[in-house]
Amino acid sequence: MYLLCKLLYVTVFALLSAAPPYLPLFYHDALGFSSNQIGLVLAIAPFIQSAACPFWTWLVDRKPRWHGLTMTGTSLAGGVAIMGIMMMGRIVASPAYQIDITTLVLLTSMFALTFAFFTLPNISLVDSAVMKILGPNKILYGQQRLWGSVSCGLTILVVGQLISMTGDLDMLFYVFGGSTLLFAFFALFVRVDASEPTLSAKEQAALMTSVADTPFYQSTAMGGGEKLDEEAALMDVPLFKAATVHSFRDEVTDALDNIGHNMDLGLTISKISTVDQSMAHILDGDSEPMNLSILLSVRVLTFLTSTLMLGIALSMIVNFLFLFQGTDLKIPASWIGWNGPTGGITELLAFCFAKQLTEKYGVTKLIIFAHVATAIRCIGYTLLTPASLTTNILALVLQTLHGVGFGLFWATAVSEIDSFFPPAQRSMAQGILGGLHAGLGTGLGALIGGFLYDAYGATGLFNSGAFLCVVSIIIFSIGRLPKYAA
């Protein structure tokens, strides 16, 4: 059911996972960029995306009939830009052309900017389209988006295997191009009206049955009567109240509470706003002006500062991870590709159990633990030796800490930022959170990481990431002192 929604997520995550993770390798091996130049090009995307997400979301919200066509047009425009980067590689490799490095960096940066403005916001556009297609059944959102997470991990794995088998980095562009064409095609079938569709009682009953029967509905050993009681409890939850992220998450929380101790991965994903959703709603017109007295309080400021610093540290890892593994550790692309499913699975597990862990250990311990896991990951990379099977395995083991470092932190931070502000201001608060972590944090992380990698090597890069985590823990802990409690 809702096949189009699933296909949109599969293809949009495929195109966004085929090229970006491997581009640093391409910049280094095919274009001959230094780490500093790579960091400069990579920093463009998060800054542009921070502005592009709310712009395109605002546009399709006001012109709903253009939604599908907008996704098709933007994906194709960004796709042409990425293929332009591939052509830069062909030009560099050809003896018939001579191009200086400054011009090459400038042209590549222009292509990266175009891709960031047109294609990167498409996850936000798909989120928006799917929520409108689901109409009164928005509670099924997580089941649709789960397919995107699966697609992301598998695409990174497939691209790595293809590069390893052929020895050709252009494989990343071929997979990207095919995924882009498929996404653009499926987007043409999106039909969104200003008014939301309603379903008959029979259709809604069928949908709610699918929630209980889906293979992602994980229940412990229990009798059939208990399962029927939980289905009934879930059906009693109002499915939709208002078109805001906050009210939707409130309803998902109610649904999770009603099904008790059993896990539902789809509902869990629905509850946690993605980074793209957060940035897209920073300009939400329905939000009240931000309460500056809350925003400037020590508890909130230290929390947001910690969010930014961890965002920088994670960006330093993620943006240069494949380059580090491929060039410094001599890990084959076939092994590098396994970072996708390894990190994806642990991230989903972190999302899934974040609520239970928060209830047991509290927000403060979980966020500190996420920082510690990231610091251990950074230090661990510095201890690996090149060209070793043991290193290949340990690199994947360290990748599992991504789920703790990012997954657990983000799942906890999304709920924590809500607790600081009244309901009418939470949409903008989520926007600030996403903008700091994935916008400013990711951009600065790429710039700083490129400089550190170029000047001090991988050891300097990862040691600096660990140091940032330690400083962030100290700042965060200061804000959690009882005297700064609300």
Q: In angstroms, rounded to a whole number, what is the distance separating the alpha carbons of residues 76 and 185?
A: 10
Residue 287 in this model has a pLDDT that exceeds 90:
no
Residue 23 in this model has a pLDDT that exceeds 50:
yes
- Going by C-beta distance under 8 Å and a sequence separation of 6 or more, which residues neighbour residue 51? none
When pLDDT is cut at 50, 70 and 90, the band that residue 288 belongs to is low
pLDDT the model gives residue 284:
55
Residue 252 in this model has a pLDDT that exceeds 70:
no
pLDDT in tens, 53-88: 888 888 888 888 899 999 999 999 999 999 999 999
Task: Tell me which of 51 and 111 has the higher pLDDT.
Answer: 111
Q: Which of 19-33, 37-51, 204-218, 435-449 has the lowest mean pLDDT?
A: 204-218
Count CB atoms within 10 A of the CB of residue 210: 15
pLDDT the model gives residue 441:
93
Q: Which of 47-56, 198-207, 274-283, 387-396 has the lowest mean pLDDT?
A: 198-207
Residues facing 263 on adjacent strands: 218
Task: Tell me which of 35 and 222 has the higher pLDDT.
Answer: 35
pLDDT the model gives residue 266:
54
Residues facing 264 on adjacent strands: 217
pLDDT in tens, 94-150: 988 889 999 999 999 999 999 999 999 998 899 889 888 888 787 788 788 889 989
- What angle is formed at CA 301 by the lines to CA 466 and CA 446, rounded to 5 degrees? 40
Residue 409 in this model has a pLDDT that exceeds 60:
yes
Task: Tell me which of 316 and 253 has the higher pLDDT.
Answer: 316
Residue 55 half-sphere exposure, CB side, CA atoms within 13 Å? 12
- Going by C-beta distance under 8 Å and a sequence separation of 6 or more, which residues neighbour residue 49? 116, 117, 120, 121, 279, 438, 439
Q: In angstroms, rounded to a whole number, what is the distance separating the alpha carbons of residues 336 and 431?
A: 32
Q: In angstroms, rounded to a whole number, what is the distance separating the alpha carbons of residues 190 and 368?
A: 42
Which among 486, 479, 484 is positioned nearest to 364, based on CA atoms?
479
pLDDT the model gives residue 404:
87
pLDDT the model gives residue 326:
96
What Cα–Cα distance (Å) separates residue 164 from each residue in 83, 167, 483?
A: 21, 5, 56
When pLDDT is cut at 50, 70 and 90, the band that residue 450 belongs to is very high
When pLDDT is cut at 50, 70 and 90, the band that residue 42 belongs to is very high
Question: The tokens 């590098």 sit on which residue?
Answer: 336
Residue 336 half-sphere exposure, CB side, CA atoms within 13 Å? 27
Query: DSSP assignment of 12-45, as one string?
Result: HHHHHHHSGGGHHHHHHHTS---HHHHHHHHHHH
Residue 217 in this model has a pLDDT that exceeds 50:
no
Q: Which of 107-116, 238-247, 255-264, 322-331 has the lowest mean pLDDT?
A: 238-247
